[in-house]
Structure 1
Amino acid sequence: MAALTAERMAQPPTPPRATGYARTQFMIVKIPVVPDADDLYHQREDRIDQALKAKGLGTVIGWGDSLGEARAGGSRRVAYTRVDLDVLEIEAARAELQVILSAIGAPAGTEIHYSRDGASVADIYAPPEWRLAQPVVYGIRQG
């Protein structure tokens, strides 16, 4: 390991892409489950991943179903599919996600979750538009 000399400390830091490691940020897409329109083979996640990778914006790191409110008798149905993302630039990823989600027929109520200035916010799909940067408190959208 190279010694930290005054000369070395005065040099600008190595850009993340030069090291092969880029600082990434976490985002989540929540896609409501719509009866008779489910994505059994999870092709949406693949299309989201391909779109982000094609533009060098990030990747899908996982996905899963999330349960809704308890029904009478205590059972809970799947309410939405959650897609976890690792992105390089939130603003660029948001713009691309809005385009791809609209193109793949994401239902109304689809949400893109991210952080802005330390606050949790979400872009909400209300076709044909997106309501941008809606406040989220403890994972529940407020508005």
Structure 2
Amino acid sequence: MAQPPTPPRATGYVRTQFMFVKIPVLPDADDLYHQREDRIDQALKAKGLGTVIGWGDSLGEARAGRSRRVAYTRVDLDVVEVEDARAELQAVLAAIGAPAGTEIHYSRDGASVADIYAPPGWRLAQPVVYGVGQQ
């Protein structure tokens, strides 16, 4: 069931919601200058849907006798309307060549869910359980 638009706060600011995108880092497809985050931010701002509020790289599992490599980049978002932001994110992520396994995380009816990129489409609203051993 679609949520009604969130009314502005008494201060005049629109209420926003937190989402994040999790992009796997592939060894031969480096985004050295983190241009994806800028493209996501530009796409959301252009349609008045929200903004990137931060990003960072996360380490994967330790390899035998070696250091841990960067496993994915997480892009934190502040959005006005989750459903519209999801649609825009799905389009922009596919357009910028996000790898399979890219995830868009959000909440629906109090539950954590994610849309997972499986080219050429998306597996929508997959349940997510956070905790020990989860990324």
Fold match by TM threshold 0.5: yes
The answer for the alignment partner of 2:57 in structure 1 is 65
Q: 1:80-118 CA deviation, whole Å, 9 max, x = no partner?
A: 000000000000000000000000000000000000111
Q: 1:36-92 CA deviation, whole Å, 9 max, x = no partner?
A: 211011110000000000000000000000111111126211000000000000000
Matched, 1:136 2:128: yes
Cα-Cα RMSD: 1.6
The answer for the alignment partner of 1:46 in structure 2 is 38
The answer for the alignment partner of 2:78 in structure 1 is 86
- Unaligned runs of at least 5 residues, structure 1: 1-14
Q: Percent identity?
A: 90
What secondary structure is seen at the aligned counterpart in 2 of 1:86?
strand
Q: Which has the larger radius of gyration?
A: 1
Which one has the bigger helix percentage? Answer: 1
**Take 2:47 and 2:11, find their aligned partners in 1: how far apart are those partners?**
20
**Take 1:92 and 1:113, find their aligned partners in 2: how far apart are those partners?**
14
- Unaligned runs of at least 5 residues, structure 2: 1-6
Following TM superposition, the consecutive aligned residue runs of length 4 or more in structure 1 with deviations greater than 6 angstroms are: none
Normalised by the length of structure 2, the TM-score is 0.89
* Number of residue equivalences: 127
The answer for the alignment partner of 1:35 in structure 2 is 27
